[in-house]
Amino acid sequence: MTDYGAVVLAQPDVFVAYDPPAGDDVAWRDADGTSTQADLLAGAAGAGVVAAGGRLLTDVNPCTRAGAVTLLGPLVAGAGVVWVRHPDAAGWDRRAEQERATDRLRQAD
């Protein structure tokens, strides 16, 4: 028997890394080279994929170099993101309205 209220609810909603990454630490490595933490964050901030406090609708895979801005851009801007896999092109505008998206980024764009 475990007291859910005492064990689970007592845990903080904050993650504090034991060894947080530094700006010059490598954050991305692929066939095209490497990027540091600072490089990725600066690129995301400069990409302008979503307005501050907005909501990005995208089908760009965040696990790719090109898609890293869809993950980091909203974090840097204090915004939200909705990823859609295999979107219906004819229904994209309807989906954006349903999701209350302020910004959109399509893989084909």
Query: Residue 5: pLDDT band by 50, 70, 90 thresholds?
Result: confident
pTM above 0.85, yes or no: no
* Contact between 50 and 81 (Cβ < 8 Å): yes
For residue 70, what are its two tokens? 């869809």
pLDDT in tens, 9-61: 776 777 788 899 999 999 999 999 999 999 999 999 999 999 999 999 999 99
Q: What is the DSSP string of 63-98?
A: TSTTTHHHHHHHHHHT-EEEE-SS--GGGHHHHHHH
Which residues lie across from 104 on neighbouring strands? 57
Q: What is the DSSP string of 17-80?
A: -SSPPPTTSEEEEETTEEEEHHHHHHHHHHH--S-TT-EEEE-S-TTSTTTHHHHHHHHHHT-E
Question: Given this model, what pLDDT does residue 92 score?
Answer: 94
6 or 74: which leads in pLDDT: 74
**Percentage above 70 pLDDT, the chain:** 94
- A 10 A CB-CB count for 47 gives 16
